């Protein structure tokens, strides 16, 4: 029996992505929750992630001269001001709102609410003119919405504040994805993960500094907040590793595999969260509602993948496509070896969803993907 090493390596990367994505979310919940580590400052946690990621990117690009490039990045002030700044603003917002939700609702319920991501992205895409209203997609979005409503109705510890934070974070992330497609692709700019972190992380840090100064700085001055260097360093390192794992997965697979892996990760995360955090009680209505929403998500993914295949004259088999994309990646890479090495802020620390990060859309668009459903990631 001949073992396809490329395929095996792909599934190893998928496993690493699922472990890191789930781990970052659970780690963030543990750090933020007053019942555990008790660091209820999601903006601060997100800023730690952004600062650490930006610092590492700076070292790799400016100090060690490790530059991975699909194409030379010609960043001008105009591109930075009109593209990077607005994308960073919505990225920071999605992380802030998403991570803040962990203070109010359970990890399991958050994952169920994330089923709304395709709905939010479709709405934003229609508003921004990158997609058109379609009856088949609208029916799927309606099914997802009904499922999420049922799941919310069945939530024992339903909290309106946490739900609003999470849903707002989802729509902010959806707008970021659409803006990335509209703004960066229009400029013909493709950012790899290191360049994405190099440009977007510092800008997101600056945006987060404003709400931090107003909302969390006064709290830190009057209350005794414990700060453990190794806890925050390992947490930020996990978030950074997640970003690189996303890049490795996207470089090895197609849209279908990524979507399936995301669904599998969500179910694993829901199960794990109920074990690690006993207060995360799941009811039968939760499961029924999430299953209904998941059916809508799967149907939506099927429609999108079918649209992509319809635009491709020749359909390659999975191993052939993986080999082709891998050869293209190897050819276009500068000094990056994907076999070596490799963050939501309030939510980034929680998963780029899942920390599921700005690098996702740019690379996905490079291989012909319509959209990721997630940070995340």
Going from the first residue of the chain to its last (377 residues), give the mean pLDDT of each consecutive group of 10, the final group possibly shorter: 75 89 93 90 95 92 71 77 92 95 92 90 88 86 91 87 95 90 76 82 96 91 79 94 80 68 84 86 88 87 78 56 48 36 35 39 35 36
Rg of the Cα atoms in the chain: 20
Report the pLDDT value the prediction gives residue 73, as an integer from 0 to 100. 67
Tokens 């203070």 sit on residue: 103
C-alpha 66: how far from its chain's center?
Answer: 24
- The whole-angstrom separation of Cα 174 and Cα 167 is 11
- The CA-atom distances, in angstroms, between 247 and each of 99, 240, 305, 310, 338 are 22, 11, 20, 26, 9
* Residue of 109, 220, 205 lying closest to 156 (CA atoms): 109
Cβ pair 53, 236 in contact under 8 A? yes
DSSP 8-class letter at 28: H
Report the pLDDT value the prediction gives residue 23, as an integer from 0 to 100. 93
* Residue of 357, 361, 369 lying closest to 54 (CA atoms): 357
Report the pLDDT value the prediction gives residue 195, as an integer from 0 to 100. 83
Q: Is 58 exposed, middle or buried (0-12, 13-18, 19+ CB in 10 A)?
A: middle
Report the pLDDT value the prediction gives residue 225, as an integer from 0 to 100. 76
DSSP 8-class letter at 350: T
- The whole-angstrom separation of Cα 28 and Cα 344 is 9
Contacts of 47 (CB under 8 A, 6+ apart): 205, 208, 209, 212, 345
Sign of the Cα torsion 356, 361, 363, 365 reads: positive
Angle between helices 193-211 and 229-252 (to 10 degrees): 140
Contacts of 80 (CB under 8 A, 6+ apart): 199
Cβ pair 351, 374 in contact under 8 A? yes
Rounded (10°) CA dihedral 68, 17, 38, 200: 30
- The whole-angstrom separation of Cα 78 and Cα 99 is 31
Question: The tokens of 54 are what?
Answer: 């930006």
Please provide residue 348's backbone torsions phi and psi, each rounded to the nearest 5 degrees.
-65, -40
Report the pLDDT value the prediction gives residue 256, as an integer from 0 to 100. 63
- The whole-angstrom separation of Cα 25 and Cα 235 is 10
Tokens 């109010």 sit on residue: 104
- The whole-angstrom separation of Cα 174 and Cα 116 is 10
Tokens 């730690």 sit on residue: 48
């Amino acid at each position: 029996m001949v073992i396809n090493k490329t395929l095996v390596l792909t599934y190893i990367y998928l496993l690493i992505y699922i472990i890191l994505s789930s781990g970052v979310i659970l780690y963030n919940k543990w750090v933020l929750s007053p019942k555990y580590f008790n660091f209820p400052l999601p903006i601060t946690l997100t800023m730690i992630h952004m600062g650490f990621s930006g610092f590492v990117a700076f070292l790799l690009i400016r100090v060690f001269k490790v530059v991975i490039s699909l194409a030379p990045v010609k960043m001008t002030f105009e591109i930075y001001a009109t593209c990077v700044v607005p994308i960073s603003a919505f990225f920071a917002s999605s992380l802030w709102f998403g991570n803040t939700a962990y203070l109010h609702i359970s990890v399991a319920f958050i994952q169920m609410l994330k089923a709304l991501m395709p709905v939010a992205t479709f709405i934003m895409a229609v508003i921004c003119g990158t997609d058109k209203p379609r009856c088949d997609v609208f029916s799927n979005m309606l099914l997802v919405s009904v499922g999420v409503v049922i799941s919310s109705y069945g939530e024992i510890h339903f909290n309106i504040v946490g739900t609003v934070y999470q849903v707002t974070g989802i729509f902010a992330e959806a707008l970021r994805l659409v803006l990335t497609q509209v703004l960066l692709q229009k400029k013909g700019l493709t950012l790899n993960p290191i360049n994405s972190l190099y440009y977007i992380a510092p800008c997101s840090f600056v945006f987060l500094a404003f709400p931090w100064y107003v909302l969390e700085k006064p709290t830190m001055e009057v209350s005794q907040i414990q700060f453990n260097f190794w806890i925050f360093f390992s947490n930020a390192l996990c978030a950074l590793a997640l970003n690189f794992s996303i890049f490795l997965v996207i470089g090895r697979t197609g849209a279908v595999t990524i979507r399936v892996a995301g669904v599998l990760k969500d179910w694993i995360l829901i199960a794990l969260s109920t074990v690690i955090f006993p207060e995360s009680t799941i009811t039968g209505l939760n499961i029924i509602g999430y299953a209904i929403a998941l059916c809508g998500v799967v149907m939506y993914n099927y429609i999108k993948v079918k649209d992509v295949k319809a635009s491709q004259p020749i359909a390659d088999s999975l191993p052939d496509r993986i080999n082709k994309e891998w050869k293209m990646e190897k050819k276009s890479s500068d000094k990056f070896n994907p076999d070596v090495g490799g963050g939501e802020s309030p939510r980034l620390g929680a998963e780029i969803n899942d920390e599921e990060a700005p690098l996702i859309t740019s690379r996905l668009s490079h291989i012909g993907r319509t959209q990721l459903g997630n940070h995340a990631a």
